Amino acid sequence: MPLTNYIFTSESVGEGHPDKICDRISDAILDAFLTADPMSRVACETLATTNQVVIAGEVRGPASITPKVIEDVTRAAIKDIGYEQDGFHWKNAKVDVLLHAQSVDIAQGVDAAGNKDEGAGDQGIMFGYACRETDVLMPAPIHYSHAILKSLAEARHSGAASKLGPDAKSQISLQYENGKPVRATSIVVSTQHTEDADPDEVREIVRPHVLNVLPKGWMCPEDQFYVNPTGRFVIGGPDGDAGLTGRKIIVDTYGGAAPHGGGAFSGKDPTKVDRSAAYAARYLAKNVVAAGLADRCTIQLSYAIGVSRPLSVYVNLHETGQVDEMKVSKALQDLVDLSPRGIRTHLGLNKPIYARTAAYGHFGRQPDADGGFSWEKTDLVDQLKSALR
């Protein structure tokens, strides 16, 4: 019997969190390669610590993307986030670029040759999820956690919250009744701040951003509203805690409300199904829910390295479906080519659209005119309805 009354919690981290800085740098480098050559292969990992950035991984792309270009892209990303601190500064940080050529063993599995289509860049399982808890068909706890931090960052960049620093985290616990979220039971926001900002001042800077994001009447009790629970958060970013690419995979996806295959996204070009197939799975799940075929939908795709077609396409409608799940799976496979090449073509993924995904989640965003967040479109709705009526 499904659980209907419970409390569920999700967290988010802001663009200045050490791990998110690394995601942003890795994706900015990926965008640089894709701008120069849309067929570039990139698997870029970043480490950041006190005034030090190390970039490693494998690439196959144009010679115009030199180590100097990569260093410049890195510094620009750090500057845009807002780091000009003694312990981490866009201008003063040391940047080591240790990228090398893509393995020929991996490349031969991915490349098309003769009658062989392009294969997946690795084995693995990827999940997509959608539900009716928010208008963007995302779970409410992660959606509102992201929105609080995005609002704070916009205020910091505009100068309206000049005493806040780039590093920040949020966490929301929501009460569910009859399976639907109805209110927050607790909210935690930790944000870096200037030396002269006292705890009460920071609390009141944060408060309106929480109130403006949550639905009316959802605010938690005052004694469950925690802002900088330790009392001080001046030292932050990579100076306070080292960062790594790909360490916030639950923040990037569904906040723990859905399964995760374990693969990270940032720094990976779309031949890597860790990224592209996860986007495709979200696209399919969102269209199923948007079409009114279910209130919740989980989709799993699985791949083998060098093999073009998915090994399985699993659909779970969580007992909310209007049609048989096997029929939904077949209809989705008929409508969308789920080979790596098919996904990249259908969603237009060989474009420099990735740096913008590095903070505030890869899902639940509005599609951009230039092709960014194409996996959030609901353009399969009519076709699904026709196929499954």
170 falls within a domain = yes
355 and 277 part of one domain? yes
Q: Is 365 annotated as a binding residue?
A: no
pLDDT of 110: 62
117 falls within a domain = no
Q: Is 167 annotated as a binding residue?
A: yes
Q: Is 232 annotated as a binding residue?
A: yes
- Per-residue confidence band for 115, with pLDDT thresholds at 50, 70 and 90: very low
pLDDT of 103: 66
83 and 220 part of one domain? no
Q: Is 102 annotated as a binding residue?
A: yes
Q: Is 272 annotated as a binding residue?
A: yes
128 and 147 part of one domain? no
Please write down the HEC assignment for all residues of the chain: CCCCCEEEEEEEECCCCHHHHHHHHHHHHHHHHHHHCCCCEEEEEEEEECCEEEEEEEEECCCCCCHHHHHHHHHHHHHHHCCEECCEECCCCEEEEEEEECCHHHHHHHCCECCECCCECCCEEEEEEEECCCCCCCCHHHHHHHHHHHHHHHHHHHCCCCCEEEEEEEEEEEEEECCEEEEEEEEEEEEEECCCCCHHHHHHHHHHHHHHHCCCCCCCCHHHEEECCCCCCCCCHHHCCCEECCCCHHHHCCCCCCCCCCCCCCCECCCCHHHHHHHHHHHHHHHHHHCCCCCEEEEEEEECECCCCCCEEEEECCCCCCCCHHHHHHHHHHHCCCCHHHHHHHHCCCCCCCHHHCCCCCCCCCCCCCCCCHHHCCCCHHHHHHHHC
Q: Is 264 annotated as a binding residue?
A: yes
Percent of the chain with pLDDT over 70: 95
Q: Domain with 54 in it: what CATH number?
A: 3.30.300.10
147 and 221 part of one domain? yes
10 and 153 part of one domain? yes
259 falls within a domain = no
pLDDT at 95 over 50: yes
79 and 103 part of one domain? yes
265 falls within a domain = no
Tens of pLDDT, residues 245-301: 999 999 999 999 999 999 999 999 999 999 999 999 999 999 999 999 999 999 999
- Spatial CB neighbours of 31, under 8 Å, sequence gap ≥ 6: 352, 353, 354, 355
pLDDT of 234: 96
128 and 154 part of one domain? no
278 and 379 part of one domain? yes
Of 121, 224, 208, which is closest to residue 160 (Cα–Cα)? 208
- Spatial CB neighbours of 141, under 8 Å, sequence gap ≥ 6: 8, 9, 10, 172, 173, 174, 181, 255, 257
Phi then psi for 128, rounded to 5 degrees?
-125, 150
303 and 354 part of one domain? yes
Between 102 and 72, the more confident residue is: 72
Tens of pLDDT, residues 147-173: 999 999 999 999 999 999 999 999 999
Mean pLDDT of 7-35: 98
Active site residue ranges: 17, 19-20, 45, 58, 169, 233, 241-242, 247-248, 268, 272, 274
pLDDT of 66: 96
pLDDT at 113 over 80: no
Tens of pLDDT, residues 322-344: 999 999 999 999 999 999 999 99
Tokens (6 digits) for 248: 């916030």
284 falls within a domain = yes
Are 333 and 313 a contacting pair, CB within 8 Å?
yes
Are 74 and 88 a contacting pair, CB within 8 Å?
no
Task: Quote the domain boundaries for residue 69.
Answer: 18-110
251 falls within a domain = no
Q: What is the CA radius of gyration of the chain?
A: 21
Between 95 and 305, the more confident residue is: 95
Q: Is 294 annotated as a binding residue?
A: no
DSSP-derived pairing of the beta strands 84-85 and 180-193: unpaired
Are 44 and 245 a contacting pair, CB within 8 Å?
yes
- Per-residue confidence band for 389, with pLDDT thresholds at 50, 70 and 90: confident
This prediction has a pTM of 0.95
338 and 320 part of one domain? yes
Tokens 């799976």 found at: 329
Q: Is 233 annotated as a binding residue?
A: yes
Q: How far apart are CA 195 and CA 232, in angstroms?
A: 9
Q: Is 17 annotated as a binding residue?
A: yes
Number of domains in the chain: 3
Mean pLDDT of the chain: 95
pLDDT of 308: 86
254 falls within a domain = no
Q: How far apart are CA 4 and CA 194, in angstroms?
A: 43
283 falls within a domain = yes
Q: Is 177 annotated as a binding residue?
A: no
